[in-house]
Structure 1
């Protein structure tokens, strides 16, 4: 073999080694990227779960607050109705007493 052929073969070997080395680097980087993607997916899933839990807590708190407000309003309405019913009852009693007095006074005359 001539020097030129040997140099050509050597160059081909160097090219092959460079290709193999580049392929290994690409595979290593590909593995790193895949691992990063998996980690990001796990983080995203955790964030989604945390957000879901936070949202559920907000809804629960909102429902509890609404329930408390509704109960307070209902109690207020009931107290107001009770007071009004007592006033109406007292007015009816006063009116009834006045009628009775009027009837009695008419009977005396």
Structure 2
């Protein structure tokens, strides 16, 4: 049969493409993990920065809870990743964006 040699000819490149895509996803995961970890090690408290120096400890604790900063690291990381994916999907440049093409490509009026 002539189909068997043609199929075996594509196995090598197909395997390479799948391997490269897998390595790309692994790299993106590891980079996101490093960024999240480094941002968590930075000094300061996001809730304290939002509320300012005059905030009471109760106000800071309430905002930390609202922002999810009191959650364990893996939960915060999962929510952080989810937020990135939602932002990418909602981007006007995303192919899954719900905005009409005409509004994405329209020139601003003066």
TM bucket, shorter chain: 0.3 to 0.5
Q: Which of the two has greater helix per residue?
A: 1
TM-score (norm 1): 0.38
Q: Find the structure with the greater CA-based Rg.
A: 1
Which one scores higher on RCO, CA 8 angstroms, separation ≥ 6?
A: 2
Q: TM-score scaled to structure 2, two decimals?
A: 0.38
